[in-house]
Amino acid sequence: MSAVLSVAGLAELVAGWIGQGKLVAAPVQVGDRLLYQTLATAGQAVFDARRRPANSIKEFFFPRHEPIFHYRLEGKEIALSDVVPEEREQIIFAAKPCDAAALPILDHVFNWDFEDGFYTARRARTTVVTLACAAHDEACFCTSVGAGPEDEAGSDAMLFDVGDGKFEVRAITEKGQALFPTASTEPRRSGSGPAAEKKFDPDRVARYLEANFESPLWNPLTLTCLGCGACAYTCPTCHCFDIVDEGNAAGGARVKNWDSCQFPFFTLHASGHNPRAAQPQRQRQRLFHKFSIYPRKFNAVLCTGCGNCERNCPVGLGVLKVLEAIDGEQRRLDDKEPVQA
């Protein structure tokens, strides 16, 4: 196997993995959307270094719905049984670096102190092959959070579009080498497009957040938010979840489902008290979690700059516009210029 592959060569590889019984997920064209999906056939995979899927790869590690055990009720007797774990090897193929970069970030929360075995088992049996980005759009801001179009974080191997339908492969980890034994492991600058310019400084943003939990800026910046979970659910790093029971009197399962801090009932206390009763407070929480709470806890910004939040937001909000505004505000404060109303 050469370390340079054609589109046909990539498809052949994918077909081979599927044939071996491996689960392969890759970007797939669905209507007008590009979405990561587990492939039925190799031909579905789209190898495009210039387009970003509308969802993220977190689903393959932290599914939107996951039974955590089953229960069966017989009179007063209750029997719990474990979920049969999926053991097939999984390959995420032609993913974006900004999706893969979320994995080392998420590893913290799913492993600190208590270990979430569901997540770590999927991490262990999955190999992530990214495709370096050759373009960015207005919503992209990976370079502002310390990542980039060829960022290796979370990737086991990386493909580079070298033109003429050819892709050069670089192995980054042992897992990547196992998939591509002849691939180079040397660092490589490639034909990637120019990186997006930095749009804000996360440290400056964090400084603003830590001093301005209450700020007259929150309302005007976030009042158009309609409170859906499109941002959180397509975000590579958002990981909030709910635990609920689903079933009937005879039995059922306790399940872990995605949840979002943008929903009004997310933090409603049993007493009726809701610390985040208004939408701007919930928007503020999302920013705080990403740029203050998580960094202070795990020393990592909970954001890879993929821009999905803005692209998927029905009102074009996302985090970037707000971050730019508060970055500018903090810059003004730092310059000791009069703060504009």
Identify residues 151-210 at the interface with other proteins (CB under 8 A): none
Q: Please give the structure tokens belonging to residue 322.
A: 């707000």
Closest distance to other proteins from the beta carbon of 8 (Å):
28
Q: Does 270 bind other proteins (CB under 8 A)?
A: yes
Q: Which stretch binds other proteins (CB under 8 A): 9-17, 166-174, 178-186, 292-300?
A: 292-300
Considering beta carbons, is residue 163 or 275 the nearer one to other proteins?
275
Q: What is the DSSP letter of 214?
A: S
Token duo for residue 175: 């897992």
| CA dist., res. 202 & res. 292, Å (int) | 9
Q: For residue 28, which phi and psi values (nearest 5 degrees)? A: -130, 140
Give all strands (DSSP E) within the chain, no chain letters.
4-6, 23-30, 33-38, 65-74, 77-81, 90-95, 126-131, 157-163, 166-171, 241-247, 251-258
Q: Give the whole-angstrom CA distance, residue 235 versus residue 105.
A: 13
Query: Are residues 58 and 75 in contact, defined by beta-carbon separation less than 8 angstroms?
Result: no
Counting residues that bind other proteins (by CB under 8 A) gives 90
Reference 128, options 184, 176, 178; nearest CA is 176
Q: Which of 155, 292, 304, 330 binds other proteins (CB under 8 A)?
A: 292
Q: Which is nearer to other proteins, 32 or 186 (CB)?
A: 32
Instruction: Quote the least distance from Cβ 269 to other proteins, whole Å.
Output: 6
Here the tokens at position 36 are 């990561």
Q: State yes or no: residue 113 binds other proteins (CB under 8 A).
A: yes
Please report whether residue 40 would count as binding other proteins according to CB under 8 A. no
Site string for other proteins, 304-323 (x = CB under 8 A): --------x-xxxx------
8-state DSSP, 192: P
**Does 229 participate in binding other proteins (rule CB under 8 A)?**
yes
Q: Is 283 in the site for other proteins (CB under 8 A)?
A: no
280 lies in the site for other proteins, by CB under 8 A: yes
Residues 49-108 contacting other proteins, CB under 8 A: 54-55, 64-65, 68-69, 71, 73, 76-78, 80, 82, 85
Among 3, 173, 195, 241, indicate the residue that binds other proteins (CB under 8 A): 241
Give me the least distance between CB of 333 and other proteins, in Å please: 19
Q: Does 116 bind other proteins (CB under 8 A)?
A: yes
Structure token digits, residue 66: 């996951």
Closest to other proteins by CB, 61 vs 110, is 110
92-125 b/e (C-beta count within 10 Å ≥ 16 → b):
bbbbbbbbbbbbebbbebbeeeeebebbeebbeb
Interacting stretch for other proteins, rule CB under 8 A, among 3-11, 166-174, 261-269, 331-339? 261-269
DSSP 198: P
Of positions 279, 301, 319, 323, contacts other proteins by CB under 8 A: 279
How buried is 138 (Cβ within 10 angstroms: 0-12 exposed, 13-18 middle, 19+ buried)?
Answer: exposed
Q: Contact at 8 Å (CB) between 16 and 75?
A: no
Piece of the chain touching other proteins by CB under 8 A; list 7-15, 97-105, 186-194, 215-223: 215-223
In the list 8, 88, 181, 271, the residue contacting other proteins (rule: CB under 8 A) is 271
46 makes contact with other proteins (CB under 8 A): no
The reply to whether 267 sits near other proteins by the rule CB under 8 A is yes
| Contacts for 201 with CB less than 8 Å, ≥ 6 apart | 144, 327
Decide: is 23 part of the binding site for other proteins (CB under 8 A).
no
Is residue 217 involved in binding other proteins (CB under 8 A)? Answer: no
